[in-house]
Amino acid sequence: MIEILLKNKKSFKAQTVGELSVSELDFHVMQFLDYKQSDLRWLEENYEMDFTIMKHFEDIEISSHFLENETQAAFHFSIPYYSKEKRMVEEPLFIIISQAGLFLFSSINLDTYFNETYPSKINSLLRITDLKGIFKFQFEFISDYFADITENLSRKVKALANDILIKKDFSSSVMDIITTYNFNNLLIKESLLETTRVLRLYLRSDWEKNEDLKESVRAELNDLNVISDYIQFNFDRLDDLKENVSNKIDLEQNHIFKMLTVVTVCISLPTFIAGVYGMNFEIMPELKLDYGYPIVLVAMICSAILPFIYFKRKKWF
């Protein structure tokens, strides 16, 4: 699917590039959702665009995240977001700006998430009248998005900490929740570091000299640095929660072991007495006593009760 924002602030959608006429397109933004190779070939033929960055975006080299030439500047951002299953996933977002306009490439799932989560911000794009302002909007939007998703995770971590530390109420699955939050925080951290690196490279690029967005980009970098501190705080808090839960689990296990020790001692002594008088030796004087049986029963009961009283006074339970 293709969504196009024209310079007259009108927008329309097309299913394929075959529905578009280059001579009639006077646009600011052209967004391709779940793009195909045929879409890229059409752009190469009509707008002489270079898609090298989209072929190697999984590489660690910086050229897979920011690449410029005389006619365009290409950006690759890794965007973490919550899927329909409420699981955090990561998908690439490509932004290419040229003299022809701004081109966006993403999945339908990511675009749907943005539209549902930020309808007012997306609509505000229609009020921007020039390409430079739209280009600036992309940086601001990404920075604000990282702030929002980090804040969302911070609230979840804080609520979990409240349950564990204050309410002292947690289930057996709490360690899985902590692991999930740690993974989500890690995804956000990695994506934010890539974004920070891309913006810093852009500040030193030739393209920036033409656009002159230095002050705006520096402001976004400052915001990203603050967000990075919150992400690190989430890591620290999750580590503390994990250690706290581990300590509580150890205490519970120690309590269980103590109880097992008490039960074992209380049972072993009566069992020992019963074993002695079950050996069936011929010469066992107690077997001929008139009150031998009740005496042994009393001895077995006392051998079970006395260890219980002892451990009770030791506060083992």
pLDDT at position 63 is: 59
SS3 helix, strand, coil % of the chain, rounded to 5? 65, 15, 20
pLDDT at position 161 is: 81
Q: Which residues of the chain have pLDDT under 70?
A: 23, 56-63, 167-172, 250-251, 316-317
pLDDT at position 252 is: 72
pTM: 0.76
Where do we find the tokens 């995770």?
153
SS (H, E, C) 25-77: CCEEEEEEECCCHHHHHHHHHHHCCCCHHHHCCCCCCHHHCEEECCCEEEEEE
Residues of the chain with CATH 3.30.460.20: 1-117
Residues of the chain with CATH 1.20.58.340: 251-313
* In contact, 237 and 157? CB cutoff 8 Å: yes
Tell me which fold the domain 1-117 belongs to.
Beta Polymerase; domain 2 (3.30.460)
CATH number of 251-313: 1.20.58.340
pLDDT at position 169 is: 62
What does the pLDDT look like over 13-50, one tens digit per residue?
A: 888 877 777 767 777 888 898 888 888 888 888 888 88
